[in-house]
Structure 1
């Protein structure tokens, strides 16, 4: 069989990809992953009885805002990494910006606090479990993101896996913030970021295996 005939046979019945198909898949993954994380949070941790009082504190919304500020550029980066040849590096500054801002504000808060209170603000009472709780709640979104990438055409597999992990970690942190009793900014700057890094590193390690064509 000639090459032209072979190509024509392979192309028979091929249909163009619907416009914005990847965006719709990612939106469906966000809905499914977010719902899965919320369900897992309710099953494993439950709602705190003092949630209404926590919601009256500015830092409660600050935690949610920080996680959302990372989830948005992480989703944008994932859309680019899912396409071959798309420019994604300039998105990194929008990923780094909320982290740098929270670290700067946390450093300022520590400088304004008495020295005896600084470690308490960093460690809180849940530092041993917080990162792993966030990583646990990221699992539904992690699976959903890799489902999206498996149906796309990523070429930088480690970076694509890391992007999926970062988005998953941000969603996990967003959901966990509803349960988390910690309200100190230095705690969030250290342990929330650590929790989001767990699925990010896992995605970078497993991306080349799970996303291989």
Structure 2
């Protein structure tokens, strides 16, 4: 578990992780973050997918975290949906000096952790969606850890493109599934409208 060191001041919205000697920012479901400094982006994934995209020359990168590929094949104007989450992440990178032809990606998640969604195979659909999207955009996938039944914690360093993934023990699967179920309930209760939603 990352710990906050109040004696060290970091960028707003970050905490200090002593294991990595780095400031970290959490990327929650339906969210994304872009940075060009030494901070680390961290997320916890079950059925959700996170794309970590990086430009090695501009030294800028970002991460998103989405639960659904799209709205019945449409994009939906919310970062809860993969199609929009990918578009907004790439656009933010381009605004910060990245070049589309240099972008590289690493993708994670898409596990089968939600019993209520095994029929729809949302994790598998998310994993296939992100690979198809990146192929269509001609963004090279340098690494991936997708599928299976295990949740994952991902640590991504946007400035360097370094990504670390930890497969979590079965004991943590129920907790991740409960978090995603609560998130899914919020999505059903609040239809997607407007631009990016932050949770």
TM-score by length of 2: 0.29
Bigger relative contact order, structure 1 or 2, given CA contacts below 8 A and separation 6+? 1
Question: Between Structure 1 and Structure 2, whose CA radius of gyration is higher?
Answer: 1
- Compare the two structures and name the one with the higher strand fraction: 2
